[in-house]
Structure 1
Amino acid sequence: MILDEEPTKRSKGHELGCDLSAISSDELWHRVTLLEAEIIRIKNEIERKDAGRKAADSLFGPKV
């Protein structure tokens, strides 16, 4: 097999602002799925950090 004949590998990620014109519809849907999963992961981390901050504020906040 010649190196030029190797099948193209699906990209594992997405670069913001990249040119989408040469990417197939199936690949674009795959990227959408990956990005939606990443959004959920980020939102879960925000919630976890906010809960930690609220717990610290209730423990160390000013006593009234």
Structure 2
Amino acid sequence: MFADDDQPKPKRLHEIGCDLTFLSAGELEERIAVLHDEIARLEADKTSKTSSRSVAESLFKSK
């Protein structure tokens, strides 16, 4: 009966466009790794969706 809005939202490790001035080289490396992981996740999902679409298109092509 409790709304999910009542829960604190986890802090993002990195926000696009944020100020990088006070971050150490180690912190930057950590953020780069997180962003690489996210890019890989996005590319995998894109590949999955485009391959599904290709299969669907091939089923509906006229012969």
**Deviations for 1:19-39, whole angstroms, at most 9, x for unmatched residues?**
000111101100000000110
Query: Kindly, what percent of the aligned residue pairs are identical?
Result: 38
Residue 51 (structure 1) aligns with: 51
Large movers: runs of 4+ above 3 Å: none
**Which structure: larger Rg?**
1
Q: How high is the TM-score relative to the length of structure 1?
A: 0.75
Amino acid at match of 1:22: F
The size of the alignment, in residue pairs, is: 53
Any unmatched runs of 5+ in structure 2?
Answer: 1-10
Higher relative contact order (CA 8 A, sep 6+): 2
Cα distance, 1:12 vs structure 2: 4.6
Specify every segment of 5 or more residues in structure 1 that has no aligned partner in the other structure, as ranges: 1-10
- The two structures have a TM-score, normalised by structure 2, of 0.77
Q: CA RMSD in A?
A: 1.3
